[in-house]
Amino acid sequence: MQSGGNPDVLSPLRSGMTMSKNKEYAKRLQEIEGIERRVLAFKLLDEVPEGIEPYGDDLSFHCAIVAEAWEEGRKPFYLTKKNVLCGGALYSGIGNVKVTNKEFEGSLSQFIGTNKGFATREALRRSTQQIYHFFKPHQYQVIGALEDIEDPDVVMIVADAYRVMRLIKAYSWKTGELVHGISGSGWCTNSFSLVYKTKTMTYNMGDETSRVLMNLDPGEMYCFIHYNLLPLVVENYKNIQTGLEM
């Protein structure tokens, strides 16, 4: 009997192959390319993720929740927009909780003014008009180490500028395409939508809030890569120029 006649038989096999590949990618990025932090992966779903634990009823900023995935031994978890206190749910693809006008104005005031995100409401609006948006939000977002998530959508690598440059160069070396970074707004705003829209990669420095809550060192930055592109980046890292060798 041909195996193609029973997709249920092949499913566990494909799953195992994908997970094995992800472990290989994570190992190469961490051990060979010198990426010190765990490589994290994200996946959007409209059905409750099987075999993944829920985040629970806790509330926090999206970047702070994501940082928990770096904890040693932390298993993947999924969250909904109800877990997120900020715009991170909206800008990462799971929508936002409806609030009253009074609640909206109150939250907005925390981002506008001296020593805050933007000088005026108009400046904040102008910044959000420059990014892609998710017009069809999903119900759940799975977050965890790359090696623990099957077929993720995007991958996040946090490293120093030199290593992020080399990840970007691996892509440009092979394709000739340049990589566009976004900065000036929040970590979530800068990171997700561009990669989902273009299916490529991007980089950014985050913002004060995200860097504090995620405990980044001054020299670290974020690199987001669409999962379909990850094999190309990993495979061509070894082919790029190192030092002044010509």
Q: Tell whether the model's pLDDT for residue 3 goes beyond 50.
A: no
Q: Where are the domains of the chain?
A: 16-239
Place of tokens 């094999």: 231
Query: Per-residue pLDDT averaged across 66-91, rounded?
Result: 94
Confidence of residue 112 (pLDDT cuts 50, 70, 90): confident
Query: Which residues lie closer than 8 Å to 120 by C-beta, 6 or more apart?
Result: 112
Q: Which residue has better confidence, 234 or 103?
A: 234
Query: Per-residue pLDDT averaged across 72-79, rounded?
Result: 94
pLDDT digits (tens, 9 = 90+) for 132-153: 888 789 999 999 999 999 999 9
Residue 42 CA, distance from chain mean position: 6
Q: Which strands form 220-226's sheet, in the order they lie side by side?
A: 53-54, 77-79, 140-145, 40-45, 154-160, 220-226, 201-204
